[in-house]
Amino acid sequence: TIVVVPENPVTSISISAGTGGSSITLTANYSPSSSDPSLVWEITSGGSYGYLSSETGKSVTVYPDSCGRMQIKVTDEYSGKSATKYIYVFEMAFNANGGSGAPSSVLAIDDTTSYRIDIPSGEPYRSGWEFMGWSTSSSGSPSYDPGDSYSVGYSSVRTMYAIWGDYGYLQFNRNGGSGSVPSTQSVLIA
């Protein structure tokens, strides 16, 4: 058996993460930098939450599948040195709450335990009703508009519910007084 030993073997290794979003790039940092490692990447836990773009190379990209926590490991096959890093997947779902046309779920991935997801610009539709905005409760107040961002955690899907309002009419009456009365006004009732 012949064992090939690199001239400058890796003595330590770590993982750094790029900016999160729809994917995240992880990079292996090793010492000494003059090493020529043989790096292998793997998901050691949470494999159902995402996948890797590659299993070799200095960098890999991680893509999300569903919310949860993944552990990623890189190992230098020559030295046996390895490092791990947790990566978190976030999901925001949208419920039209009696309407139709809610945006598709949004997935994001980062190396922090919470992430701000932007609410898509599309609005749902409901015949005879006016879309008022989004809420974290199906009977809540419309607290978020398309384009706003909301901080979500990785442990469960955050569902946003469409909140609907209806138009009513406000009529004025002198009630025994004198003078002119404003005309009937159309108002939005949440």
> Strand (E) positions, the chain?
12-17, 24-31, 39-45, 50-52, 59-64, 68-76, 82-95, 106-110, 114-118, 130-135, 149-153, 158-170, 185-189
Indicate the burial class of 5 (C-beta count within 10 angstroms; 0-12, 13-18, 19 or more). exposed
80-123 tens-digit pLDDT:
999 999 999 999 999 999 999 999 999 999 999 999 999 999 99
How many angstroms separate the Cα of 119 from the Cα of each of 24, 100, 115, 161? 20, 17, 13, 12
The confidence band for 180, taking pLDDT boundaries of 50, 70 and 90, is confident
Band (pLDDT 50/70/90 cuts) for residue 5 is: low
Write out pLDDT tens, residues 33-82: 888 899 999 999 999 999 999 999 999 999 999 999 999 999 999 999 99
Q: Is the pLDDT of residue 189 over 60?
A: no
Band (142; pLDDT cuts 50, 70, 90): very high
pLDDT tens readout for residues 162-171: 999 975 555 6
